[in-house]
Copies of this chain bind each other. A is one copy, B any other.
Amino acid sequence: MEIISGDIEEAGLFLSGWLWIRGIPTNAVAKLVGIAQQARKIAADDPRKLIHSLKVGLALTLVSLFYYFQPLYSSFGVSAMWAVMTVVVVFEFSVGATLGKGLNRGLATLAAGALGLAAHHLATVTGKTCEPILIGLFVFLQAVASTFIRFFPRVKARYDYGMLIFILTFCLVSISGLRTDEILDLAQKRFSTIVIGASTCLTVSIFVYPVWAGEDLHKLVAKNIEKLGNFLEGFGREYFETANEKSHETRASMVGYKAILNSKATEESLVNFAKWEPRHGKFRYWHPWDQYLKIGTLTRECACRIDALNACLNSEMQAPLEIRRKMKEACTEMSWECSNALRELAVGIKTMTRSSPADPHMRKAESAANDLKSLLQTPMWPGSHLLDVCPAATVASLLIEIVSSTAKIADSVHELASLSKFKKPNAITPDQKENVTIIPVDNVNEGNVMIVVPHDNIESIDRSHQSSNE
């Protein structure tokens, strides 16, 4: 009996051990499949990441082979190393970041090289005893000062990498035991390799599917404003209607705003990169990048209010339907018109036109807010408890705040439009002319000009006229 149970135990151990060993390849395969799926997802979400990888590979291969085939190239050459190092370290995702790092590296190397040379010279003329003491002192003082300067917020944002290279180059030059003319010779070689590396990076970065940080920032800000609009569009439907089948989809599209709450760091780094970028596409030199930060801050403020509104939507405390019905018209109008205004603003940013179509929506939203206020000014609705009114009142006042927040966003977008000279809404092209009516302006307002209006959009007088007043 004992023998049998022992055998069974042994067999069991053996079996579990065998299953474990057999499980290794299965687990490994499952893990590899998981990684492959993740990789495919990353590439599908943003194909530019895959393209960037190919670009880095291209630049690196070019530089490596250039040095490999050089006639002077003998062994593990220091020069080749610096070029390869420059490519690996400088090549970043966007043109702005690459250019910023390249310039930082180049300029810091020059400045630190000159200063290091001076320090080295000063130390050598004092004689053999003082030399190491002086060099140690110079290295120490320079490292302390430069490291501390890296904590200055403005330096940290734009010149952090430059300061790092400054410290490095200064140390290398000043502790080198070479004669001044040897250092100069070496410095020249070193600098030319860095220039070769950096210019390979920049050429590949700019001419092969370039990724512009400025464009990304521009799109991100527009996208974020659109997300606010998406929430508000869904909100009117969700809060005042009974749940229907579409509900799940709508909810999913509504919570997109949550990403905005943590967008500050991304926006700031994009602005820093964008400032390095040369003129490209529709973006001129001195494009008002800082204005995007202002819009971003206002967008986040609005997203915070929307988050509170979302909490009301999911809260256990809900106003009864009859109370909601009383406010329904004004509230739906407010969220709908705000949503439209925000979307028009987003479209205006994306197409870089002055988005005055948003203004009529804003006016309607503001008048709906006033309607709501006067509705609330009527004496209390009899029979309703304050506890029932309370959540509805919260929604109402949050919506009122969101309207004023949207107005602020609209103002800052208009400011951006005028600062960066967005184009006016399209002038009428010759082939559109057949479809327009000419109406005397007296019908529109007090001016004495004739205005041409496309047949299919008489409403737009209001918009185009308004934009010309800006």
Tell yes or no: A111 within 8 A of B by CB.
Answer: no
Binary flags per residue of A362-392, CB closer than 8 Å to B gives 1, else 0: 0000000000010111111110111101110
Which residue of chain B lies nearest to A42 when distances are taken between CB atoms in the complex? B151
Q: Which of B136, B177, B373 contacts A65 (CB 8 A)?
A: B136
- Considering only residues 305-345 of chain A, those with a C-beta below 8 Å from chain B are 305, 307-308, 311-312, 315, 317
Q: Is the CB of B381 within 8 A of A386?
A: yes
Tell me whether A12 is interfacial, beta carbon within 8 Å. no
Q: Check if A396 sits within 8 Å of B390, measured CB to CB.
A: yes
Within 8 A of B (CB), among A273-331: 300-301, 304-305, 307-308, 311-312, 315, 317
Query: Which residue of B has the minimal Cβ distance to A80?
Result: B175
Would you give the shortest CB distance from A258 to chain B, in whole angstroms?
Answer: 10
Q: Choose from B85, B135, B265, B381 the contact partner of A262 (Cβ within 8 Å).
A: B265
A147 proximity list for chain B (CB < 8 A): 52-53, 56-57
Tell me, yes or no, whether A467 is within 8 Å of chain B by CB.
Answer: no
When the two chains form the complex, which single residue of B84, B177, B301, B312 contacts A73, counting CB atoms closer than 8 Å? B177
Assess whether A74 is interfacial by the CB under 8 Å rule. yes
A175 touches B67 (CB 8 A): yes
Residues of B close to A390: CB separation below 8 A: 376, 393, 396-397
The reply to whether B385 and A376 contact each other, CB–CB distance below 8 Å, is yes
Q: Which 9 pairs between the two chains have the least Cβ-Cβ distance?
A: A393-B393, A57-B144, A53-B147, A57-B143, A53-B148, A376-B387, A376-B386, A76-B176, A390-B393
8 CB-based A-B contacts, threshold 8 Å: A38-B152, A53-B145, A56-B147, A68-B177, A76-B177, A84-B168, A386-B393, A393-B393
Tell me the residues in window 437-453 of chain A with beta carbons closer than 8 Å to chain B beta carbons: none
A122 at the interface (CB under 8 A from B): no
Question: Measured between alpha carbons, how far is A183 from B49 in the docked complex, in Å?
Answer: 34
Kindly state whether residue A75 has any CB partner on chain B within 8 Å.
yes
Name A151's contact: one of B49, B182, B265, B307 (CB within 8 Å). B49
Q: Would you give the shortest CB distance from A262 to chain B, in whole angstroms?
A: 5
Which residue from chain B places its CB closest to the CB of A175 in the assembled complex?
A: B64
Q: Sort chain A's interface into a size bin.
A: 35 or more
Residues in B whose Cβ lies below 8 Å from that of A317: 397, 400
Q: A172-B81, A385-B379 are in contact. Are A64 and B139 (CB under 8 A)?
A: yes
- B401 A387 Cβ-Cβ under 8 A: no
Q: How far apart sit A78 and B172, CA to CA, in the bound complex (Å)?
A: 10
Q: Which residues of B contact A148 (CB under 8 A)?
A: 39, 42-43, 49-50, 53
- A207 within 8 A of partner (CB): no
In the assembled complex, the Cα of A88 lies from the Cα of B435 at a distance in Å of: 69
B261 and A304 contacting across the interface, CB-CB below 8 Å: yes
CA separation between A307 and B297, bound complex, in Å? 14
Q: Does A221 contact B (CB under 8 A)?
A: no
A69 near B: Cβ within 8 Å? Answer: yes
A93 to chain B, nearest CB (A): 9
Docked complex Cα distance between A370 and B35 (Å): 50
- Of the candidates A182, A186, A387, the one having the most CB atoms from chain B within 10 angstroms of its own CB is A387
- Residue A271 lies at the interface, judged by CB distance under 8 Å to chain B: no
Which of B172, B186, B265 is close to A265, meaning CB atoms less than 8 Å apart?
Answer: B265
Q: Which residues of A377-422 have CB atoms within 8 Å of chain B's CB atoms?
A: 377-382, 384-387, 389-391, 393-394, 396-398, 400-401
What CA separation (Å) do A96 and B124 show in the bound complex? 39
- Beyond contacts A58-B140, A317-B397: 19 other A-B pairs, Cβ-Cβ < 8 A, are A38-B152, A49-B151, A52-B147, A53-B148, A57-B143, A60-B143, A65-B135, A75-B182, A76-B172, A84-B172, A262-B262, A304-B304, A308-B401, A376-B390, A377-B386, A377-B387, A389-B389, A390-B396, A394-B398
Specify which chain B residues have a CB less than 8 angstroms from the CB of A305 in the assembled complex.
Answer: 308, 311
In the bound complex, how far is the Cα of B396 from the Cα of A84, in angstroms? 63
A188 interface residue (CB < 8 Å to B)? no
